[in-house]
Amino acid sequence: MGGANGVSNQDNSTIPEAIKMKELALSLGVKEEDILIDDTSNNTFENIENAIKKAQAYYKETKIPTIAGDSGLFIDGIPSDKQPGLFVRRVNSKVLSDDKMIEYYTKLIESIGGKITGYYVTGLALITEQGLFTTEISEDKFILSSTISNNNHRRNPLDVMTIDPVSQKFYTNMIDEDFKSLGHVFDKECVKFLEKNLPDNSKKLQKI
């Protein structure tokens, strides 16, 4: 399953959530050496169900408070059978490369007018000695465009076609300071969730 501070990931589009959750854990006083990150996902269940499955597997092995998350992409204005959901990188049972992923979503967005809003929904599952706690967070909305940026993405391939609705900048054209000015719905709701359900005497937190 990996050791402390190990990062394993099968879907690059989920990495930002892993990083954000690690930062949130640190802000709550958890020591960095006590955080285990393994953001792998088989994407076979609904958001919360998948998070529960992962959290249970890690808690069984470690017996320390464990939080797992899984995110799905939803795009306004497209039919349910075309919604990516958990299968952001997987289309027609095929796992897409970065370039094929960008090509697929560019054509999809172009077919519905060239610009549309989208958002991620993240399911969280926390297991402690007190039991299982879950929540689902609808994150900040953004604009998806069939016109793509000339700059390379840093983590998520879809960043080349994702625009911040406030600054109207492509994510790939934004610097770290720009991202700090975003709404951060996920950050705020995740902190509330952890503060409400994480035992005060917990010394270790896993993020899967």
- Could you tell me the residue ranges of all domains in the chain? 12-199
Alpha-carbon distances, residue 172 vs 25, 40, 152, 162, 201 (angstroms): 26, 24, 6, 8, 40
Task: Name the more confident of 205 and 128.
Answer: 128
Give residue 4's pLDDT band: very low, low, confident or very high (50, 70, 90).
Answer: very low
* Tokens 């930002």, located at residue: 16
From residue 44, alpha-carbon distances to 29, 55, 71, 86 in Å are 33, 15, 12, 8
Question: What is the structure's pLDDT at 132?
Answer: 93
Average pLDDT, the chain: 79
Higher pLDDT, 204 or 124: 124
What pairing do the DSSP bridges indicate for beta strands 35-37 and 162-163?
unpaired
CA distance 208 to 55: 7
Answer with the residue of higher pLDDT: 134 or 184.
Answer: 134
Region 12-199: CATH code: 3.90.950.10
Q: Terminal CA-to-CA distance of the chain, rounded, Å?
A: 10
Contact criterion met (CB below 8 Å) for 139 and 166: no
- Cα of 43 vs its chain's centroid, Å: 12
Tens of pLDDT, residue by residue over 122-151, are 999 999 988 999 999 998 999 999 999 998
Kindly state the greatest CA–CA separation across the chain.
53
